[in-house]
């Protein structure tokens, strides 16, 4: 059952006002509204918890992460029910997302038990070295302290209360203060209950996790500006993320802001692949473009093709495939409204023509497809702005030189894709060095939706895809965001951290 309050260091607290969720159907649920005062309480509790949790063993933290996973699974049916009510996402999607969420908790537990992430290093003393002796030097990664996490609108489980940012911070040894997303407060409530139960079962200091629901911008600002918060994880819009990033940088003591801000994830369809597999690629693109109503940060919104009959056939095949896609419910009324505005902006841009127009109704989205030339793309940078939803833009270039120019014009992306046949290898080789500088993940003959949680995954990229191009918000390397290296010089063995002894 929903509690409807904030979880602050083991206590469920109510504020002075309430808000309701926006269910697709049924009666709205009421939740206590967050305040900066609650953020202050949570941050202070997190700092107090760090003196124990930050110095807990890897084995203890692994047990805790697995316990959270078990407790989330125990509430699985309830989470699915409230999730479908709040977001309109189908049951299968929410069950799969829960599997990903508990899977990454267990993966992170396994990963920290191995200890490799600590990057242990030891340079032994050289007392007789000339002209100067060398001291004994040992290095390891240590947790940074309390971490602020912002829940994402489009992933009520995998990027929210117990999602990747929270899981990686807890794995690193950092207490967490979550700002829950108002798009799915019911899901956040139940997941917080699961974490609270795991804390009690494992004997973890209760300040290790807190969650504040709802609230206006002042609550989010309080999280990133609180002097006890040492880093922030965020998944969301470019505008909101950039505003929080600037606040982090403007603090008297700036802190890292790990923001994943989305991208258009362009696909480059090379000539031979376009000729031989154009229809197949177009159909695959339509499926990826409309998956989850296009509400994925890896939604491939741009397809770059050579002009000519093959390019026209690709556009026609994409149109046919998209025409068969039924309307889908979007996560919130606000997201739906922003999608319509983005559609209108693209449609009104000089040099853009309609390929497929449909009709949307309130919170329901249908796909749109537009086309433009490489010349128009290069002269209008707004065409590269993300439209969060099932909208695609085909960019037709006249030759390889213009295709490279389009690639060079890109801002930072989460992904870029090359669709290629063997005959396209030379062209692919000429594009690859450009795309390596533009994206955190480069695909060959695939579609970027569906981000694997594993050791080698990179979900990040140059700005504005993310605010820190050296980090990832998915996969085991995400833990490294909330660690910093510490060197111990000439330390007695018994004073060293256990992992260095």
**Among 305, 150, 298, which residue's Cα sits nearest to residue 229?**
150
pTM: 0.96
Q: In a 3-state reduction of DSSP, which class is residue 458? A: coil
| pLDDT > 90 in the chain, percent | 98
**12-to-2, 114, 375 alpha-carbon distances in Å:** 11, 35, 57
pLDDT score of 88 more than 90: yes
- Binned at pLDDT 50, 70 and 90, residue 40 comes out as very high
pLDDT tens for each residue of 183-231: 999 999 999 999 999 999 999 999 999 999 999 999 999 999 999 999 9
Rounded Cα distance between 167 and 188, Å, is 14
CB distance 216 to 55 below 8 Å: no
**Among 453, 458, 454, 430, which residue's Cα sits nearest to residue 443?**
458
> Quick one: pLDDT at residue 312?
98
Angle at 460 between CA 434 and CA 499, to 5 degrees: 120
CB distance 335 to 153 below 8 Å: yes
CB distance 296 to 285 below 8 Å: no
> Quick one: pLDDT at residue 130?
96
Can you tell me the mean pLDDT for 401-419?
98
Number of neighbouring beta carbons within 10 Å of residue 324: 10
| pLDDT > 70 in the chain, percent | 100
Can you tell me the mean pLDDT for 244-248?
97
Rounded Cα distance between 68 and 246, Å, is 33
pLDDT tens for each residue of 42-84: 999 999 999 999 999 999 999 999 999 999 999 999 999 999 9
Catalytic residue among 297, 386, 402, 416: 297
Is 297 a residue of the active site?
yes
User: Cβ neighbours of residue 418 under 8 Å, at least 6 residues apart?
Assistant: 267, 268, 270, 424, 428, 431, 432, 435, 442, 443, 444, 445
Is 360 a residue of the active site?
no
What string of H, E and C letters represents the secondary structure of 268-298? Answer: EECHHHHHHHHHHHHHHHHHHHHHHHHCCCC
Rounded Cα distance between 251 and 261, Å, is 21
> Quick one: pLDDT at residue 6?
98
Catalytic residue among 48, 260, 386, 402: 260
Rounded Cα distance between 445 and 282, Å, is 12
Report residue 263 CA to chain centroid gap.
11
Residue 354 is encoded by which pair of tokens? 């309609």
C-alpha R_g of the chain: 24
Half-sphere exposure of residue 229, counting CA atoms within 13 Å on the CB side? Answer: 32
The residue to which tokens 């979880």 are assigned: 7
What is the average pLDDT score of the chain?
97
Task: Tally helices (H) and strands (E) across the chain.
Answer: 14, 21
CB distance 87 to 331 below 8 Å: yes
Between helices 76-87 and 185-202, what is the axis angle to 10°? Answer: 160
> Quick one: pLDDT at residue 469?
87
- Binned at pLDDT 50, 70 and 90, residue 408 comes out as very high
pLDDT score of 85 more than 90: yes
- Binned at pLDDT 50, 70 and 90, residue 25 comes out as confident
Rounded Cα distance between 430 and 447, Å, is 21
What string of H, E and C letters represents the secondary structure of 69-114? Answer: HHHHHHCHHHHHHHHHHHHCCCHHHHHHHHHHHHHHHHHHHHHHHH
Q: With the C-alpha atoms ordered 66, 68, 74, 79, is the resulting torsion angle positive or negative?
A: negative
């Amino acid at each position: 059952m929903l509690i409807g309050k904030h979880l602050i260091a083991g206590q469920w607290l109510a504020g002075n006002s309430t808000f309701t969720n926006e269910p697709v159907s049924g009666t709205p649920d009421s939740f206590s509204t967050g305040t900066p005062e609650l953020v202050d309480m949570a941050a202070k509790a997190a700092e107090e918890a760090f003196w124990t949790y930050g110095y807990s063993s890897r084995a203890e933290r692994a047990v805790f992460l697995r316990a959270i996973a078990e407790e989330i699974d125990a509430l699985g049916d309830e989470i699915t029910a409230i999730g479908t009510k709040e977001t309109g996402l189908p049951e299968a999607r929410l069950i799969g997302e829960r599997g990903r969420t508990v899977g990454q908790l267990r993966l992170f537990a396994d990963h920290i038990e191995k200890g490799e992430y600590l990057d242990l290093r030891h340079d032994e003393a050289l007392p007789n070295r000339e002209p100067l002796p060398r001291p004994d030097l040992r290095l390891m990664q240590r947790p940074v302290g309390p971490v602020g996490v912002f829940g994402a609108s489009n992933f009520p489980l995998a990027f929210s209360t117990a999602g990747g940012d929270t899981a990686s911070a807890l794995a690193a040894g950092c207490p967490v203060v979550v700002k829950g997303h108002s798009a799915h407060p019911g899901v956040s409530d139940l997941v917080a209950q699961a974490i609270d139960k795991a804390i009690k079962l494992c004997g973890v200091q209760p300040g290790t996790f807190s969650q504040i629901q709802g609230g206006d911008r002042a609550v989010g600002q309080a999280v990133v500006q609180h002097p006890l918060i040492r880093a922030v994880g965020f998944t969301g819009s470019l505008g909101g993320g950039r505003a929080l990033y600037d606040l982090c940088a403007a603090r008297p003591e700036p802190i890292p802001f790990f923001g994943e801000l989305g991208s258009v994830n362009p696909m480059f369809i090379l000539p031979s692949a376009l000729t031989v597999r154009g229809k197949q690629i177009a159909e695959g693109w339509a499926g990826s473009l409309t998956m989850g109503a296009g509400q994925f940060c890896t939604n491939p919104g741009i397809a770059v093709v050579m002009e000519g009959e093959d390019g026209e056939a690709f556009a026609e095949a994409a149109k046919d495939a998209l025409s068969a896609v039924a309307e889908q419910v979007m996560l919130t009324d606000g997201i739906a409204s922003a999608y319509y505005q983005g559609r209108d902006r693209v449609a009104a841009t000089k040099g853009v023509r309609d390929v497929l127009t449909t009709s949307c109704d309130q919170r329901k989205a249908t796909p749109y497809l537009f086309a433009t030339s490489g010349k128009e793309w290069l002269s209008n940078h707004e065409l590269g702005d993300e439209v969060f939803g099932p909208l695609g833009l085909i960019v037709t270039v006249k030759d390889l030189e213009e295709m490279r120019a389009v690639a060079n014009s890109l801002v930072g992306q989460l992904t870029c894709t090359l669709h290629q046949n063997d005959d396209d290898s030379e062209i692919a080789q000429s594009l690859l060095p450009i795309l390596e500088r533009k994206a955190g993940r480069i695909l060959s003959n695939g579609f970027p939706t569906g981000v694997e949680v594993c050791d080698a995954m990179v979900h990040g990229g140059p700005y504005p895809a993310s605010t820190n191009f050296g980090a990832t918000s998915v996969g085991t390397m995400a833990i490294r965001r909330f660690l910093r290296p510490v060197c111990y010089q000439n330390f007695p063995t018994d004073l060293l951290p256990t992992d260095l002894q």
